[in-house]
A and B are shown apart, each in its own frame.
Chain A
Amino acid sequence: MGGNQSLPKITPQDRAILDLKLQRDKLRQYQKKIQVVLDREHAIAKAHLAAGQKDRAIIALRRRKYQQSLLLKTDGQLEHLEQLVSTIEFSLVEVSVLHGLKQGNEVLREIHKEMNLEAVEKLLEETSEAREYQKEIGEMLSNNLTLDEEDAVQAELRELQAQQESQIPQAIDMPDAPTTELIAKEPAAEAESAERTKVPVAA
């Protein structure tokens, strides 16, 4: 399998972690089992008591108590195991963080090696030289227009201006102000328009 080569090696640490986790699982399963026993002893004690056998009920309850103490003990052990597992896993994370930092540092150093001051200075110098050169070329080009060409530019400008002016007068072509009297008709027209606006609202 080609894919297998990319998988990390299984280290003794990995095996140790797996061992711990398996132990933890066993404890958890053991706890489950004890819980079942506890419930059963409780039922047995109840049944004995119902049958009037007090002694037997007490024995069952004693057994139950003992199992309960076992459960408590396993709780403590489980806590220890889980702590240990967490600590180990956290340390592994720390190791990988350290490794990451180390690599980052290395990369940074490599980059700095390529970016020494002299090279930067030289580069900046070259850039400014190139900019000067570019500027010179620009100046030479702009001064190089002949008189004829300059005339043509001016003519184009005039033409554009003329176009703009010819558009403006059309916009200002306003209607004449009314000269007749309007007052008498106005209220009727207003009422009519008010009605017209009302109709769609009602619908």
Chain B
Amino acid sequence: MTNVMSLSTHTTASGFLLPSIHSAPPFFTQQPNPGTQAIAIEQWTRLILTYARHRRLFVLRVEDAETTGNDWDEILRNERINRKLLPPYLSHILSAMVAKDLAVYEPPRQTRSVLLYWRSPDEWAETLHSWATATGQLNTILTFYDITDPPIESELTGIPIPLLRKAISILGKTGRAQMIGVADGEGVRLFAGGR
């Protein structure tokens, strides 16, 4: 790892600053030394989450390491040093992230696709609540589509429904959200509520 210092950072086409470790060939292969491996996984976790936040990506699949031309090309491959992350290693990283509650398998009962928590469900709950407050939509019945696809783009635009559900159920525990179900679908009503 001594030569890492001489490696340089790189700014991708989407404007993301890759850390210098991304230019180190060993970073892309699993390390036999468990200590080194743990550090590498930590670095990968941070890289994946910061990149996901930068591009507002919510889902990472093992498949993304198997194909090219997807949202994750910029970090799962490095053409400049001719390296790419192999699917088994990605799968390993994903399981480590799930173990640390930084991601969750979605849909559950499979291990090929995760929902990334670059914001925890608790933080999403607060985001949802402050958005509804700021846009004056408290005490109004909202459909999920109102939240994920608002006429004015918000922080919640494109949020996956499973994550939205988690955020709503967290708000529900403090009496700040109420689910309403009808034959055709579901809606939610948010309240100011005390903490």
CB pair A14 B141 closer than 8 Å: yes
Q: Which residues of A contact B174 (CB under 8 A)?
A: 3
Residue in B173, B175, B180, B191 whose beta carbon sits within 8 Å of that of A18 in the complex: B180
Taking a contact as CB atoms under 8 Å apart, the answer to whether B175 and A25 are in contact is no
A1 at the interface (CB under 8 A from B): yes
* Nearest CB in chain B to that of A23: its residue: B184
The yes or no answer to A4 lying at the interface (CB within 8 A) is yes
Known: A14-B180, A19-B184, A25-B146. 6 other contacts (CB 8 A): A1-B175, A10-B180, A15-B180, A18-B182, A21-B142, A22-B182
Q: Is the CB of A4 within 8 A of B187?
A: no
Query: Is the pair B189, A14 in contact by a Cβ cutoff of 8 Å?
Result: yes
Contacts of B173 in A (CB 8 A): 1, 3
Docked Cα-Cα span, A17 to B143, in Å, equals 10
CA distance A3 to B178 in the complex (A): 11
Complex contact B178–A21 (CB within 8 A): no
Chain A residues whose C-beta falls within 8 Å of the C-beta of B142 in the assembled complex: 21
Instruction: Tell me the minimal C-beta distance from B125 to chain A in angstroms.
Output: 14
Give Cα distance in the complex from A19 to B183, angstroms. 8
Which residues of A line the B interface, CB within 8 A?
A: 1, 3-4, 6-8, 10, 14-15, 17-19, 21-23, 25, 28-29, 89
Given known contacts A1-B173, A3-B173, A25 and B182 CB-to-CB distance under 8 angstroms:
no
**CB-contact partner of A19 in B146, B182, B189, under 8 A:** B182
Nearest chain A CB to B155 CB, angstrom units? 20
Q: Are B175 and A6 closer than 8 Å at their CB atoms?
A: yes
Chain B 129-150 near chain A by CB (<8 Å), digits 1 or 0: 0000000000011110110010
Q: A22-B184, A22-B185, A22-B187 are in contact. Are A17 and B175 (CB under 8 A)?
A: no
CB contacts (< 8 Å) of B193 on chain A: these are 6
Residues of B near A22 (CB, < 8 A) are 143, 182, 184-185, 187
The interface residues of chain B lying within 8 Å CB-to-CB of A28 are 145, 149
Q: Are A7 and B191 in contact (CB under 8 A)?
A: yes
A-side contacts of B189, CB under 8 Å: 14
Q: Which of A3, A7, A18 contacts B143 (CB 8 A)?
A: A18
Q: Is the CB of A10 within 8 A of B178?
A: yes
Instruction: Give A34 to B91 CA distance when docked, in angstroms.
Output: 38
Which residues of the partner chain B approach A7 to less than 8 Å between Cβ atoms? Answer: 175, 178, 191
Q: How far is the CA of A89 from the CA of B138 in the complex (A)?
A: 13
Residues of A within 8 A of B182 (CB): 15, 18-19, 22
Bound Cα distance from A183 to B54, whole angstroms: 84
Q: For the complex, what is the distance from the CA of A144 to the CA of B93, rounded to whole Å? A: 96
Q: Which residues of A contact B186 (CB under 8 A)?
A: 18
A6 CA / B172 CA spacing, docked (Å): 11
Bound: A23/B146 CA distance, A: 12
Query: What distance in Å separates the Cβ of A82 from its nearest Cβ neighbour in chain B?
Result: 11
Q: Which residue of A lies closest to B184 (CB)?
A: A22
Closest chain-A Cβ to B173's Cβ sits at a distance in Å of: 7
Q: Which residues of A contact B141 (CB under 8 A)?
A: 14, 17-18, 21
Do the beta carbons of A3 and B140 come within 8 Å of each other?
no
Residues 66 to 95 of chain B near chain A (Cβ within 8 Å): none
